[in-house]
Chains A and B, each alone.
Chain A
Amino acid sequence: MSEPTQTGAQREELVLNMGPHHPSTHGVLRFVVHTDGEIMRKAVPEVGYLHRGLEKLAESQTYAGYMPFTDRINYLEAMFTEQAYAMAVEALLATEIPPRAEFLRVIACELNRIANHHITLGCITMDLGAYTPFVYLLRERESINDLIEALCGNRITHNYLRIGGVAYDVDNIWLGQLESYLDHFEPIINEFEALIVGNEILIKRMQDIAVISRRDAVAWGLTGPNLRASGQDWDVRRDIPYGAYPQFEFDVPVGPLGRGQAGDCYQRFLVRVEEMRQSCRILRQCLAKLPEGDIKAKVPKMIKAPKGESYASVEGARGEMGCYLVSDGGKNPYRVKWRTGSFSAMSIIEHTSPGLMIADLVALVATLDVIAPECDR
């Protein structure tokens, strides 16, 4: 803790060091908070504590061997990073993916999205002081993890996708389990709403707090739920269709929904609740339409992508998950760069924070859903 610094003529500013280990900085992340009493003048995020050089690591891995590393970029949405990477390589190889594999990818990704939103919504409520909703959502997430473990063997870092398809097929028993999970889960969303979404204290804590206008959201490159909450009707799944998504019907929730104004914390919260419902809808359509066939296209054992570059983006749980891949024709990727939702979301905090209270910063960080490993890579 540094000494309070004297700024300006008469008022003292309290410089607080929030993090790197603080209960509400998800992961290891530091904010230098300049406060005047409870009101913040500025909060500057300092990132990099979880930089593991995953982009540099790609340069020494084979194309197939890099797949498990992509899981580590964000352990909460590993399927999306895998999907983005696989799509980037496939774009260079010009591989056709079998339809069943595309469906399985959608199933895996949407399950992952629900699991991720469980954590996000739970963390929001926990950061606002309610512990129990977090536990309920974690319990639901465990069921999804069980499903994913039965599907691909790991609970968090899945390594399920392969270049050209997926690793394992599903059978009817697993699909039945998925269906019964959906039957169980959809009423749980209602229960969650009764418990916390309509809760007056929670609404008071989030409504009209830390408003990010649509203009700002676009300029700072916010994506995903954060962008939609600000009122920009945009979803990569619908607007730049990839995989099997054109075959599904789903709504894209866009703020303002319910109480509050577009771009405030409560909207970011509501958009995510609604997205869980839409993911359930997509999963049900997947179950109805799942085609038979191969689950992996023919790709050479040692992949050598032709010279060139590609940028593939998927709608991750935290916004656009993009993978920029450069190939020099060798067997290792020449350069991989990840464009992640948390990175942009983190960069807007300094811009949004002035005038908020310390408690609001917690709400802002939680609802922007910034995850330090995804930001730092």
Chain B
Amino acid sequence: MKPAEIQAYLQQKLDKQIEWHEGEKNTGDPWAIVEPDLWVDACQLARHDTELAFDFLRNLTGTDRPDDGKIEVVAHLWSYVRRHAFVLKTTVEREAPKLSSLATIWPAAVWYEREIFDLLGVEFSGHPDLRRIMMPDDWVGHPLRKDYTEQADYRGIPTSRPGYVTAMPEKVDE
């Protein structure tokens, strides 16, 4: 099925309005946005419906949108059975981002959600093992947020190296 057909199919099955977006010049991939409380239902449907049969969670990630005060969570789906792709999104509030976990639908989501939790700070309810994955456990902040500023040092180790070009003495050769 084409992405637009999938969107229509989802809309009909879920009996809810699903937003449909495309790129500015119709380039790239179109995507559908569902409400956060529909997120698990939509994914459940996408996984188990025989028409859709999205058995492969290709990618699950997030984007920070400080202008809208939202964080988008994006799932790229692929079906080995039906051979079609779909981009499904949802948005959560930036202040207290909370979403239900997809770990029971696709086990692959376990680590992806850990990554989103670590780098963007979205909390997934029902996740079996929600810990930081990339950063140390006692790291402050979520690096992929647009307003993130790095702490100056971590346990006494400075987080930046002085730029030699800018901090250069006039004479290099002794």
- The answer to the question of B80 belonging to the interface, with a C-beta cut-off of 8 Å to chain A, is yes
User: Is B58 an interface residue when CB atoms closer than 8 A count as contact?
Assistant: yes
Q: How far, in angstroms, from A376 to B119 measured CA to CA in the complex?
A: 12
CB <8 Å contact, A309 and B144:
no
Please tell me if A31 contacts chain B, counting CB pairs below 8 Å: no
Q: Check if A53 sits within 8 Å of B143, measured CB to CB.
A: yes
Indicate whether B108 reaches chain A with its CB closer than 8 angstroms.
yes
Residue from the set B31, B55, B59, B146 with the largest chain A CB neighbour count within 10 Å: B59
B29: chain A residues within 8 A (beta carbon) = 91, 308-311
Instruction: Indicate whether A351 reaches chain B with its CB closer than 8 angstroms.
Output: yes
Taking the complex as formed, is B140 at the interface, i.e. its CB lies under 8 A from any CB of chain A?
no
For residue B23, CB closer than 8 A to chain A, the reply is: yes
- Give chain B's interface residue range (CB within 8 Å of chain A): 35 or more
B-contacting residues, A119-160, CB 8 Å: none
| Residues of chain B with a CB closer than 8 A to A22's CB | none
A-facing mask of B12-32, CB < 8 A → 1, else 0? 000000000011110111010
Query: Is A182's CB within 8 Å of the partner chain B?
Result: no
Contacts of A376 in B (CB 8 A): 134
Per the 8 Å Cβ criterion, residues 89-129 of B in contact with A are 106-108, 110-111, 119
B83 within 8 A of A: yes
Contact of A218 (CB < 8 Å), options: B25, B56, B143, B146 = B56
Q: Which residues of B contact A320 (CB under 8 A)?
A: 58
A14 to chain B, nearest CB (A): 22
A51-B134, A324-B59, A337-B61 given; A347·B110 CB < 8 A: yes
Q: Is the CB of B135 within 8 A of A311?
A: no
Interchain CB contact under 8 A, A47 and B80: no
The answer to whether A322 has its CB under 8 Å from any CB of chain B is yes
Question: In the complex, A307 Cα to B83 Cα: how many Å?
Answer: 27
Distance, CA A190 to CA B26, complexed state (A): 50
Check B107–A306 contact: CB distance below 8 A. Answer: no
Q: Does A313 contact B (CB under 8 A)?
A: yes
**CB closest residue in chain A, given B21:** A308
Q: Choose from B80, B87, B107 the contact partner of A311 (Cβ within 8 Å).
A: B87
A377–B111 Cα distance when bound, in Å, is 14
Nearest A residue to B55 by beta-carbon distance?
Answer: A218
Q: Is A25 an interface residue (CB 8 A)?
A: no
Q: Is B74 an interface residue (CB 8 A)?
A: yes
Q: Return the CB mask of A335-349 against B: 1 if under 8 Å, else 0.
A: 101010001101100
- Within the complex, which residue of B28, B61, B80 is in contact with A308, where a contact is CB–CB below 8 Å? B28
Per-residue contact bits, chain A 106-130, to B (CB 8 Å; 1 contact, 0 not): 0000000000000000000000000
Chain B CB within 8 A of A85 CB: no
From residue A20, how far is it (CB to closest CB) to chain B in Å? 13
A310–B23 touching, CB < 8 Å: yes
Q: Let me know if A189 is at the binding interface, CB within 8 A.
A: no
Beyond A308-B25, A334-B63: 9 further Cβ-contacts under 8 Å? A51-B134, A55-B144, A93-B27, A219-B107, A308-B23, A308-B27, A308-B28, A309-B31, A311-B59
20 interchain pairs, CB-CB under 8 A: A51-B135, A55-B144, A91-B27, A92-B23, A92-B27, A219-B106, A220-B107, A220-B108, A221-B56, A306-B27, A308-B25, A308-B29, A309-B28, A311-B87, A322-B76, A327-B28, A329-B24, A343-B111, A346-B111, A376-B134
Q: Lowest 6 CB-CB distances: which A-B pairs, in order?
A: A308-B23, A221-B108, A310-B28, A307-B24, A347-B111, A339-B59
